[in-house]
Amino acid sequence: GEDVEQSLFLSVREGDSSVINCTYTDSSSTYLYWYKQEPGAGLQLLTYIFSNMDMKQDQRLTVLLNKKDKHLSLRIADTQTGDSAIYFCAERALKTIFGAGTRLFVKA
Amino acid sequence: DSGVTQTPKHLITATGQRVTLRCSPRSGDLSVYWYQQSLDQGLQFLIQYYNGEERAKGNILERFSAQQFPDLHSELNLSSLELGDSALYFCASSAPWDSTDTQYFGPGTRLTVL
């Protein structure tokens, strides 16, 4: 069945790069997304990548897609304390499936 | 601000009661999705409506129901509430013309069942 998996926690030091990983199972995925959820707030779309792309860069964010391994990653360069949040990976095939979210802790 | 609004922001009620959560999608969006987020279950998809019709169903309990009205706002009804129904309930919407089918989330309703 369709499934999206992410590690639950990641801790980094301020100024370092963060890499959040995600794996999915549906090879017919068309779009893959990264959402950010800050405490007490709803999910906010950070970026998305079309399934025929390998990489997408947007300022401090870099998304890498390995379609063969069904692996998606989000790299945040120069991580700041304001990046502390839960990051959700999602894939869209016939419907959109969300992962459980990775909680990013940024230590000052 | 995503443009999706949800009311109320907080709701505290007792077991056995019934509540209604309301969602207004972004202007022009026809799809509305409901999700439940709890600490132990993560983000669970409940149900989707498209232009008033049920489109997809997820892990929605029989005690829960939803509908989308002609003005496209949606309501999620939760009845015979149990302690385990305490959670954040999110609504999201998406546009029919958006090929990425990106969902835009509201700020959520925090339900506490005592």
Task: Give tens-digit pLDDT for B89-104.
Answer: 999 999 988 888 899 9
DSSP element (H, E) containing A66: strand A61-66
> At residue B73, what are phi and psi to the nearest 5 degrees?
-70, 160
- Name the pLDDT band for B67 (thresholds 50, 70, 90): very high
Give the pLDDT score at A15.
97
pLDDT at residue B34 is higher than 90: yes
Scanning every residue of chain A, which has its alpha carbon at the shortest distance from the alpha carbon of B36? A42
Residue type, A105: F
- Name the pLDDT band for A32 (thresholds 50, 70, 90): very high
B107 interaction partners in chain A (CB closer than 8 Å): 41-42
> Which stretches of chain B are assigned E, i.e. beta strand?
5-7, 10-13, 19-24, 31-38, 42-50, 53-57, 64-68, 74-78, 87-94, 104-105, 109-113
* Cβ–Cβ below 8 Å for A96 and B107: no
B4 interaction partners in chain A (CB closer than 8 Å): 42
User: How many Å apart are CA B22 and CA B62, to the nearest integer?
Assistant: 19
B45 interaction partners in chain A (CB closer than 8 Å): 95, 97-98
> Which residues numbered 17-36 in B keep a CB inside 8 Å of some CB on A?
35
Q: From its phi and psi, is residue B101 left (phi > 0), alpha (psi between -120 and 50) or beta?
A: left
* Cβ–Cβ below 8 Å for A42 and B90: yes
Which tokens belong to A12? 């980094």
For residue A99, the 8-state DSSP code is -
DSSP element (H, E) containing B82: none
- Name the pLDDT band for A1 (thresholds 50, 70, 90): low
* Cβ–Cβ below 8 Å for A48 and B100: yes
> Which residues numbered 33-92 in A keep a CB inside 8 Å of some CB on B?
33, 35, 41-45, 48, 50, 88, 92
B50 three-state secondary structure: strand
Give the mean pLDDT of chain B: 94
Task: Give per-residue pLDDT as tens, A61-91.
Answer: 999 999 999 999 999 999 999 999 999 999 9
Which residues make Cβ contacts (< 8 Å) with residue A51, sequence separation at least 6? A29, A30, A31, A32, A65, A67
Closest CB to B102: pick one of A45, A88, A95.
Answer: A45
User: How many Å apart are CA B45 and CA B56, to the nearest integer?
Assistant: 10
For residue A56, the 8-state DSSP code is E
Give the pLDDT score at B69.
97
pLDDT at residue B86 is higher than 80: yes
Task: Give per-residue pLDDT as tens, A9-21.
Answer: 999 999 999 999 9
